[in-house]
Copies of this chain bind each other. A is one copy, B any other.
Amino acid sequence: MEHPENNKAYKGLKVNDGVERLSSVNPYLSQRRVKRAALLSVDDYVQGILRGDVMILSRAVTLVESLLPEHQVVAQEIIERLLPYSGKSLRVGITGVPGAGKSTSIDAFGMHILQERGGKLAVLAVDPSSERSKGSILGDKTRMERLSARADAFIRPSASAGSLGGVARKTRETIILCEAAGYDTVFVETVGVGQSETAVCSMVDFFLLLQIAGAGDELQGIKRGIMEMADGIVINKADGANKEEAQRAAVHYRNALQLFPMPQSGIRPQVLTYSGFYDIGIKEVWDMIYDYIAKVKSNGAFEKRRNSQAKYWMYETINEQLRNRFYNACGVEEQLVHFEKELLDGRITSFAAASKMLEFYDSLIEK
């Protein structure tokens, strides 16, 4: 194994940065362990991940999530080397409003998969900090009681800081690491209230929307358009006295889905009921998902979706970076405030304001 000191990409790393970073993520790491962690080479990471070492996988994810440029250099090298080993998992996005029972459902879904299909399961989350207050995700691993006790399940909460684009990038890169480490099912969880659904939908093979019965106020929180992104809708808490209401809700959703156009997959989303808490109907939900995957793999839609996702993220990243550079350029914000006022006072059109802003930006670049 190459000595870390000889590793070119590694040279910029200060040991102290590593110590602070790692110990803040895991307070139980002893100082000795942290030192060892900080001294891992890219090769150590790659080999460790390929043999499925959870501790090393976890540290690599920490590097991916790090905001330090030195960490990013190492992370990118690790990802590049692991890329050929990635892509083979089934990626499932799971969303639902707070109160839909996401943690209980993921626990039940995960246990079903591990017991029926075997293999290893990774549970990740996309949860940009701005959306935190609206519903904590994976904040408490213990909410997934059974999964968190298993060695074949890797549960990782969302990176806590950064824009949606940043968090999405980190999650996509974490998927690559997990796949290289042999996880054959990856859940990507998100809370169903913000913009992160589009991001999650664009990185998974199947996007599952969890709902609960009652078409009234409790559904108000669902963002417009989420229903149309779903590859399947499942109504939770279909147990006991709730069962009938859940079935009525399912009919409601089925009717509503009729109004939407056929998805590109060529497969109409199904609506099923289940109970995460009482383990009812879990098998049916997953049979539906496996059936869907078998169909899209045979009709070519699976590969097409993955390819268009790869392109989507390249273009998204370019566009996001172009915007970031503009809006973060020195003086742009003050100018925007000025032109917004001119605009609302009716002294300038939106288009004239935009061209003046771009002229200002160009004058910055020329300097």
A261 cross-chain contacts in B, Cβ below 8 A:
219-224
Is A340 located at the chain interface by the 8 A CB criterion?
A: yes
Copies of this protein chain in the complex: 2
Given A261-B220, A317-B354, A352-B76: A310 in contact with B344 (beta carbons within 8 A): yes
A residues 198-241 in Cβ contact with B at 8 Å: 215, 219-225, 227-228
A340 cross-chain contacts in B, Cβ below 8 A:
311, 314
Task: Contact check, B172 vs A310: say whether CB atoms are below 8 A apart.
Answer: no
Is A109 located at the chain interface by the 8 A CB criterion?
A: no
Pick from B219, B307, B313: contact of A344, CB below 8 A.
B307
Give the segment of A24-32, A280-288, A318-326 that binds chain B. Answer: A318-326
Task: Contact check, A314 vs B354: say whether CB atoms are below 8 A apart.
Answer: yes
Q: How far is the CB of A245 from chain B (nearest CB, A)?
A: 15
Chain B residue at minimum C-beta to C-beta distance from A354: B317
Provide the bound-state CA to CA distance between A223 and B259, in Å: 11
Pick from B215, B223, B314, B319: contact of A343, CB below 8 A.
B314
Chain B residue at minimum C-beta to C-beta distance from A303: B344
Is A151 located at the chain interface by the 8 A CB criterion?
A: no
A253 cross-chain contacts in B, Cβ below 8 A:
259
Provide the bound-state CA to CA distance between A86 and B348, in Å: 12
A residues 40-79 in Cβ contact with B at 8 Å: 76, 79
Task: Contact check, B354 vs A318: say whether CB atoms are below 8 A apart.
Answer: yes
Is A176 located at the chain interface by the 8 A CB criterion?
A: yes
Query: What per-residue 1/0 map shows which CB atoms of A136-155 lie under 8 Å from chain B?
Result: 00000000000000000000
A311 cross-chain contacts in B, Cβ below 8 A:
340, 343-344, 350
Given A256-B259, A339-B314, A343-B310: A176 in contact with B221 (beta carbons within 8 A): no
Given A255-B256, A354-B314: A228 in contact with B224 (beta carbons within 8 A): yes
Is A349 located at the chain interface by the 8 A CB criterion?
A: yes
Task: Contact check, A346 vs B255: say whether CB atoms are below 8 A apart.
Answer: no
Task: Contact check, A80 vs B349: say whether CB atoms are below 8 A apart.
Answer: yes
Task: Contact check, A349 vs B259: say whether CB atoms are below 8 A apart.
Answer: no
Provide the bound-state CA to CA distance between A80 and B340, in Å: 16
Shortest Cβ-Cβ A-B pairs, 8 listed: A313-B350, A317-B354, A314-B350, A256-B256, A224-B228, A322-B322, A220-B261, A318-B354
List chain A positions with a Cβ less than 8 A from chain B: 76, 79-80, 83-84, 86-87, 169, 172-173, 176, 215, 219-225, 227-228, 252-253, 255-256, 258-262, 307, 310-319, 321-323, 326, 339-340, 343-344, 346-355, 357-358, 365
26 A-B pairs within 8 Å (CB atoms) are namely A79-B349, A80-B348, A80-B352, A83-B347, A83-B348, A86-B346, A172-B351, A173-B351, A221-B261, A222-B259, A223-B261, A224-B228, A252-B259, A255-B256, A256-B256, A256-B259, A314-B343, A314-B350, A317-B350, A317-B355, A318-B354, A318-B357, A318-B358, A319-B319, A319-B323, A322-B322
